[in-house]
Structure 1
Amino acid sequence: MTRQCLDKDIKITPVQGRVHVIFDDAEIASSLNALELDEPGAPLRIYVPRGDVREDVLEMSETHTTCPYKGVASYYNLKTLTADGPDQAWYYPDPCPLVEPIRDHLAFWGDRIEYRRSEV
C-alpha cells in the first residue's frame, strides 16, 4: 500500500521545561523532550516520547485513523487502578515526512487528561 502524504503548514517545536501528563489525577508521563505540534485548524497537540510514558497504563487499541498530513495513527486505551480511557492516546508508527519528529511519540486527549508544565 502506498502512503499518500499531503503538505500543510505544520510546525513542530520542542516544549520548554518538563511536561507532565495527568490522567484521572495520576501522572502517566513526564518528559523533558516533549514536542508541540501546531497544525492550522486543529488544537495544539503535545507529543511525548514513548519512553517517557508509563507502559503499565497503555493497552493497545484496535482503533486506527488516517490523517493526510501525518499518516495512520494507532491508539492506546489508558488504564489505571481507578479509571479507563478508551482511545485516549495515539501515535504515528510510520509518520509522513512532514511530521517525522513525532515518530515514537504519543499524544493524549480526553476530559480526564491534563497537561502540566514545570521548570527544569
Structure 2
Amino acid sequence: MSAGRDVEDVWSYPRPPAVEASDELVVVELGGVEILRTTHSYRVLETSHPPTYYLPVDAVADGVLRPIAGTTVCEFKGEASYWDLVVGDRVVPAGAWTYPRPRPGYEMLLDHLALYPGRMDRCTVDGEVVQAQDGDFYGGWITSRVSGPFKGAPGTLGW
C-alpha cells in the first residue's frame, strides 16, 4: 500500500464521482517499454468502483497515442474521445480515452487520459502492480489502497 495512506472503501466514494489530485508515482509499460511515468495525476472516485487514474497526456511517450473515430458520453464528465496505443507492432485498440471538453466540475481532466490497466503489460502505483477492474467497460485500478467489492464482474451490472 502507498506509504501513509489509509485503505479506502469504494462504497464510501460519492456519486457523482469526485476528482482528487494524486502525487503517487504511476508507471505504465506496454510492448516491453515504459510509455508513461508521472507523479501528477488525478483519481476519479465513484461509488463501487476502484479509482480510475487520469494521467497527463504530455507524459505519454512520443508516438504512442493514435486518435481514433468514435465517442461515448459519460453523464458526469462529458463526451469521451478514444485513442489506440501503439508501441512497435503492438496495438491496443481504444486503450485510452480523454475528455476534450469536460463538463463543469471535471475541468481538471482536460489534457489527461485514462487507460485500461488490464490491456497494458504492467501498471504500477508507488511500485505496487495494479490489478485491473473486472469487465471491459470500466478502467479502475485496484491496489491495496482500496477495498471492495467492486462493480464490473459478471452479475454486478445492477449494483
TM-score, length-normalised on structure 2? 0.64
Separation of aligned partners in 2, 1:25 and 1:13: 30
Is structure 2 residue 106 aligned with structure 1 residue 99? yes
Write out per-residue CA displacement over residues 87-113 of structure 1, whole angstroms, 9 at most, x where no aligned residue: 001000000112111111011115332
How do 1:1-120 residues align onto structure 2 when only pairs under 5 Å count? 8-109=15-116, 111-113=118-120, 114-118=122-126
Higher relative contact order (CA 8 A, sep 6+): 1
CA deviation string 1:50-85 (max 9, x = no partner): 111123111111021111101000010011114110
Give the distance between the partners of 2:58 and 2:30, measured in 1 at CA.
Answer: 17
**Residues 61, 43 of structure 1: CA spacing in aligned structure 2 closer, same or farther, 3 A cutoff?**
farther
- Identity across the alignment (%): 29
How much has 1:116 moved relative to structure 2? 1.0
Cα RMSD for the two superposed structures: 1.8
Amino acid at match of 2:95: Q
Structure number with larger C-alpha Rg: 2
Runs of at least 5 residues in structure 1 that lack an aligned partner in the other structure: 1-7
Q: TM-score if structure 1 supplies the norm length?
A: 0.82
| Long gaps (5+) in structure 2 | 1-14, 128-159
Counterpart AA for 1:59: R
SS of residue paired to 2:108: helix
Contact 2:22–2:42 (8 Å) recurs in 1: yes
Contact 1:63 1:87 in 2 (8 A): no
Q: How far did residue 42 of structure 1 move? A: 3.6
